[in-house]
Amino acid sequence: MAKFVAMAEQLIELNVTGMHCNNCAMSIHKLLEKKGLHNILVDFAGEEVKFSTDDESKLPEVIKGIENLGFKVIDDINLHSPAFYELVENKFIFCAAFTAPLLLHMLLPWHFLHQPIVQLLLCIPVFIVGCLHFGKSAWSSVKGGVPNMDVLIFIGSTSAFIYSLVGTIQGLGAQYQFYETCATIITLVLLGNVFEKRSVTQTTSAVKDLIKIQQVNANRIVNGVIEVISAKDVRPGDTLVVNQGDKVPVDGEILSGNVSVDEAMLTGESIPVEKDKYDKVIGGTIVINGNFHMLATKVGSNTILSQIIDLMKKAQAAKPPVQKLGDKVASIFVPAVILIALLTFVLTYFAAGLGIQKSLMNAIAVLVISCPCAMGLATPTAVMVGLGRAAKNGILIKGGDTIEAVANTKYVVFDKTGTLTTGKFTINEIKAEVGADVELIRGIITAIEERSNHPIARSLVQEIKSMSQQKVILKSVQEEKGLGMRAEDVNGNHYFLGTAKQNTQDHFNLSLFKNQSLLAQIAIDDEIKPETALLISKLKKMNIIPVLLSGDKQNRCLKVASQIGITEVHSEKLPDEKLKVIDIYKQKGKTIMIGDGINDAPALTKADVGVSMNDASQVAIQSASVVLLNTDLHSVIKFLQISKHTLLTIKQNLFWAFAYNIIAIPVAAFGFLNPMVGAFAMAFSDVVVIGNSLRLKVKKVS
């Protein structure tokens, strides 16, 4: 029954505006949990909410619940144009126009500005905007069970306004006039929100840049006539014309023509790639030279670019363990600050006897100086910038939690074939058994290996195609992880081609069996990637131990290891044996596994972090936490460096957010901080945290 329900569940995606920090996201997350929804993902920066449900009839109720929290659910974020009065920039300008004269009365000798009724009239428009902006959000967050920063701002500004209003009505004099405090708190916090909004927009620029790449036109051929359509309207099987300078609209295969394509947006590699007939092209890449006809094969959400965008969105929302501390503190922070503010008032008024004016100002200063938003922004902003920088370097990290997982890495375990080596193989020798026909052997090898995506298989087929061979028609072919290929021909003969452990001469690494009898032995060799030795050297300088883990023969593994400087070698390992090796290393320290084949998939999943090459098997890519879109192994070092500096940025942000509040709250409580200065400092703390995250965009990470 559980299985049936899981299959029936639908993934719902909503565009939600009005979220401006992690506390907002937490209140929506808590609401969705209460409604029994699953796989909840709330991305405040991307303005997206995702969840799974087996009952779509709940959707209107869920949307109503989100909007009751003070947020807005819209159809298309790209087409949404908020009303003039909803824009935080316009609210700030409006409030600043009324707050400026209120502040000027302290500097200019204009007597009419000192009149209580004039100050009241100037403050009321600002206070109304503050009530609508902060009051609505504050009440919604309290109802949602996660009080946010707006609760503090609303209480602080309202306290100053009511205190001043009572003084004006009762004619108690200038010492009761703090309208400028109320207005300034609201205006400065709105200014902070403007900075925050613009900064958060910058942190999500990597995803938005990728989305822009998708928004292109396509030239579709219909009955010999070219029609221009949007890329999102292309369907599988359409024939498209792509000209020099165009972006390839969708994924597909070249039908005719040869071109140079810039794939830097996908791989980070600036050198154009030459493409010919039947080669695959990827949507979003740019045609540098030439033009071609193509067949659309993957469109919409199935394109590689769409999958990368989706993975990045999920990654940005995946919380590293270090964020849990910030979330936990932020959730109890607001009630704690309100309690401290009340204690401040009580102690300064009743115990210290400083009077109601001074006591109230100290309590208000405590409220407005506090900033749980800085704690909420500390991690997600750094993660978003780090993931974006990695993506621009051809490194696709599938989760923000992966960044923390690579901290203090002790071992990097490499597969050999296609990872440390090029994966392009040459046949050194085919040794046929007595009486066996070499042309038949070549035909069997070609027929079997054409059905496999393994680098060895592709290379063998490519090389044997130029040799004479006898055609063999197969009825079925099955790949066995880490062993090889089994096949049956139309005459009922059974074949096995692979690296099964048997007594063969050392330099032969593949064996072909027919009906369980050895038919031939094949000696193949591949070349080591030119940058591999330098990579191993750099890892050692970072105090990381490189390890070779392969299913290939021991003498070949030792040969490769000695050439590139690896001393720890595990050879002739099947997938389940690779798992055991990874488990041993994990017990000794943090372990990264880098591989590319189906036989590596279990080990990639088992390791603390699995890294797959872009040209790897689909299973390996799905099993890995990181995909290197650029086959250059230096991406491994870049990944480690970006992860290290992203984690460092998160820790710096959290330190600033915590230290700021630990210092600022007592200073405000003891009366050394004016509420207006407190409001400015609070807004500034958000800017510091986001600014530090944005620094990661250009920071030298080597």
The ranges assigned to domains in the chain are: 2-79, 235-298, 394-419+529-638, 423-528
For residue 417, the one-letter residue type is: T
CATH number of 394-419+529-638: 3.40.50.1000
> Would you state the pLDDT for residue 294?
94
The sign of the torsion formed by the CA atoms of 564, 565, 571, 573 equals: negative
CB 278 within 8 A of CB 366: no
Contact indicator for 248, 284 with CB cutoff of 8 Å? yes
> pLDDT tens for residues 442-462?
889 889 888 876 667 777 888
User: What is the mean predicted confidence (pLDDT) over 393-408?
Assistant: 78
Category of 355 on φ-ψ map: left (φ > 0), alpha (ψ -120 to 50) or beta = left
Higher-confidence residue of 493 and 460: namely 493
Same CATH fold assignment for domains 394-419+529-638 and 423-528 = no
Residue 7: pLDDT band by 50, 70, 90 thresholds?
very low
Give the pLDDT confidence score for residue 1 in this predicted structure.
33
Three-state DSSP at 557 gives helix
Q: Among 64-73, 391-400, 560-569, which range has the highest average pLDDT? A: 560-569
226: tokens are 């070219």
DSSP-based helix, strand, coil % in the chain, nearest 5:
55, 20, 25
For residue 474, give the 3-state DSSP assignment.
strand
201's tokens:
């927009």
Tell me the average pLDDT across 395-404. Answer: 77
Least confident window among 48-62, 190-204, 296-310, 477-491: 190-204
Q: What's the rounded Cα separation, in Å, for the pair 142 and 386? A: 33
Instruction: State the pLDDT confidence band at 341, using cuts at 50, 70 and 90.
Output: confident
What are the phi and psi torsion angles at 64 (to 5°)?
Answer: -60, -40
Kind and range of the H or E run holding 380:
helix 372-392
Angle (CA) 112 114 116, round 5°: 100
Mean local confidence (pLDDT), 454-477: 81
Q: Greater confidence, 45 or 652?
A: 652
pTM for the whole structure: 0.62
Confidence band for 413, pLDDT divided at 50, 70 and 90: very high
Q: What's the rounded Cα separation, in Å, for the pair 522 and 456?
A: 12
> Does position 371 have pLDDT exceeding 50, yes or no?
yes
Confidence of residue 3 (pLDDT cuts 50, 70, 90): very low
For 15, 53, 292, the CA distances from 388, given in Å and listed in that order, are: 21, 30, 32
- Residue 135 confidence class, pLDDT cut points 50, 70, 90: confident
Q: Under CATH, to which class is 2-79 assigned?
A: alpha beta
pLDDT at 155: 82
How crowded is residue 525: how many other Cβ atoms within 10 Å of its Cβ? 14
Superfamily of domain 423-528, CATH level 4? Calcium-transporting ATPase, cytoplasmic domain N (3.40.1110.10)
Selected residue with higher pLDDT from 263 and 481 = 263
The better pLDDT of the pair 585, 552 is held by: 585
The span from the CA of 647 to the CA of 383, in Å, is 8
Question: What rounded mean pLDDT belongs to the chain?
Answer: 80
Report the length, in residues, of the chain.
Answer: 702
What's the token pair of residue 176?
């009761």
Higher-scoring residue by pLDDT: 677, 616: 677
Mean pLDDT of 379-395: 81
Measured CA angle at 274 (ends 268, 276), to 5 deg: 135
* Radius of gyration from C-alpha coordinates of the chain: 32
When pLDDT is cut at 50, 70 and 90, the band that residue 414 belongs to is very high
Average pLDDT over residues 288-310: 84
DSSP 3-state of 494: strand
Q: Could you say which of 401, 415, 526, 600 is catalytic?
A: 415
Say if strands 626-628 and 609-613 run parallel, antiparallel, or are unpaired.
Answer: parallel
Structure tokens at 427: 């046949």
Query: In which element (H, E) is residue 17 found?
Result: strand 10-17
Task: Tell me the percentage of the chain whose pLDDT exceeds 90.
Answer: 13
> Between 488 and 164, where is the model more confident?
488
Question: Do residues 642 and 389 touch, judged by C-beta distance below 8 A?
Answer: yes
Structure confidence at residue 267 (pLDDT): 54
76 is catalytic: no
| Residue 488 in tokens | 């049956």
Task: Report the pLDDT averaged over residues 34-43.
Answer: 81
Distance (Å, whole) CA 39 – CA 37: 7
Alpha-helical (H) ranges within 434-485 are 438-449, 455-464
Percent of the chain with pLDDT over 70: 82
> Which of the residue ranges 101-115, 184-198, 261-275 has the most confident prediction, judged by mean pLDDT?
184-198
Q: How confident is the model at residue 240 (pLDDT cuts 50, 70, 90)?
A: very high
Question: Which CATH code fits 235-298?
Answer: 2.70.150.10
Judged against a pLDDT cut of 90, whether residue 566 lies above it is answered with: yes
